[in-house]
Amino acid sequence: MSPEELQRTVAATIVNTNRALEQRVRAQLAALQDQSLLRSLEKPAGLDLCSNDYLGLARHPRMRRRLAEAVRSLGVGSTGSRLLRGHRAAFEAVEERFARLKGTPAALYLGSGWAANLGVLSTFPTSEDLIFSDELNHASLIDGMRLSKARHVVYPHCDCDALSQLLESEPCSGQRFVVTESLFSMDGDIAPLQRLGELQAAHGFALVVDEAHAVGVYGRHGSGLIEETGCGDGVFLSINSAGKALGVSGAFVCGPSWAIQLLVQSARPFVFSTAPPPALAEAIDEALDLLQDEPERRVRVLEYGTLLRESLDLAPSNAPIVPLIIGPSAATVRTAASLRAEGYDVRAIRPPTVPAGTARLRVSLNADLSRAELAGVAGSIQRALGRRA
């Protein structure tokens, strides 16, 4: 075969391979479209009822000012991983402060909650260990367990009786871990942390709690539901987002110094990732100042959670996450579109984010809403769902 013929053969092979892959991908996209599961990227429009900015800090004037000042002094990028040239005094200072907020000896800041959960669950459990996971845990926790060498067992959502039976019946020659969110991101309900503490006393497992949606919102100092429930002594590690109520990005793993030191040495998402921009650490520090200076923000958003549920005749709770389960994905998409047409930015949450048959509107409240806006939201939801306003 001449060089020209070889070149034509290679080119034809590449074209055929790409065409076959394109056909497969288009079939996958068409299947998602047929099931009303095809997603699209949509810019914010209308009143914010779908973000995780529960305290309204992401656009707070003090936050903007502090971040701008930090960029001027620290630059835009970190230039490397924390173990190379990416470490800065700002990271160290905010980690020490966040550890004090959580009442733990140490904390480690990573670029995202996803990275933090993968780092924790791929570092500590070994092949001899066993992980018990709430069935509605976030995808990042699930993927972290998949990366772990340990076997994992799923227990029914917030069902401590079922968990107790599994703890007694499932064999384990090593360490047992129980992994849960504190405030569940799609259902807005709260894990039975005190009951888990009682089980821990009986069974001796290490408790890992993802506080992503609770940090900044709950607790006397705004540190989360671990503080609110007083169960901090029983928690091995907590994962705490800085990209939700704190309005910035990244996440802190909090716990004993020896555990944090192992993460620095071995957590692959930390070791092998470029560090976040150091200016973000300064912005988070400002958010922690605002937790102290403006506690009325978390009081207000919790009050709004109670009021919206009362107006919609839902089970009582003060959580800022209010799920409205519709069921079919197509109907959920239509309902979300009708609310957006009235100026309310509510998005449809569909499988695989939530279990099949439980597509929903996930209304996320924030402290910048007014009472009049909250009343308007309630009326529009009632009309969209066919209820009497």
Domains of the chain: 39-54+320-384 (3.90.1150.10), 61-292 (3.40.640.10)
Confidence of residue 14 (pLDDT cuts 50, 70, 90): confident
Q: Which entry of 181, 282, 345, 368 is annotated as an active-site residue?
A: 181
Q: What's the sign of the alpha-carbon dihedral 296, 298, 301, 304? A: negative
Confidence of residue 388 (pLDDT cuts 50, 70, 90): very low
Q: Tell me, what's the pLDDT at 21?
A: 84
Q: Which entry of 185, 249, 329, 380 is annotated as an active-site residue?
A: 185
Q: Which entry of 152, 244, 345, 366 is annotated as an active-site residue?
A: 244
Q: Which entry of 60, 102, 152, 213 is annotated as an active-site residue?
A: 213
Q: For 190, which DSSP code?
A: B
Residue 181 annotated in active site: yes
Please list the residues that pair with 48 across neighbouring strands.
Answer: 345
Answer yes or no: are the C-beta atoms of 177 and 193 closer than 8 Å.
no
Residue 185 annotated in active site: yes
Can you list the positions of beta strands (E) in the chain?
47-48, 106-110, 130-134, 151-155, 176-181, 206-210, 235-241, 251-255, 321-327, 344-345, 348-349, 359-364
Residue 311 annotated in active site: no
Give 313-326 pLDDT, tens digit per residue: 999 999 999 999 99
- State how far the Cα of 99 lies from the Cα of 255, in Å rounded to an integer: 8
Residue 52 annotated in active site: yes
Confidence of residue 8 (pLDDT cuts 50, 70, 90): confident
Residue 112 annotated in active site: no
Give 64-80 pLDDT, tens digit per residue: 999 999 999 999 999 99
Q: Supply φ then ψ for residue 124, to 5 degrees.
A: -85, -50
Average pLDDT taken over every residue of the chain: 95
Residues 6+ apart with CB under 8 A from 245: 52, 53, 54, 55, 57, 213, 215, 216, 217, 222, 298
Give 174-202 pLDDT, tens digit per residue: 999 999 999 999 999 999 999 999 999 99
The token pair at 63 is 């936050």
- State how far the Cα of 57 lies from the Cα of 271, in Å rounded to an integer: 30
- State how far the Cα of 118 lies from the Cα of 284, in Å rounded to an integer: 22
Give 243-255 pLDDT, tens digit per residue: 999 999 999 999 9
Residue 138 annotated in active site: yes
Helices 113-123, 257-266: axis angle to 10 degrees equals: 100
Residues 6+ apart with CB under 8 A from 190: 182, 183, 184, 225, 317, 319
Residue 213 annotated in active site: yes
Q: Is the pLDDT of residue 25 over 70?
A: yes
Give 352-370 pLDDT, tens digit per residue: 999 999 999 999 999 999 9
Q: What integer is the mean pLDDT of 200-207? A: 95
Give 105-140 pLDDT, tens digit per residue: 999 999 999 999 999 999 999 999 999 999 999 999
Q: Supply φ then ψ for residue 162, to 5 degrees.
A: -65, -40
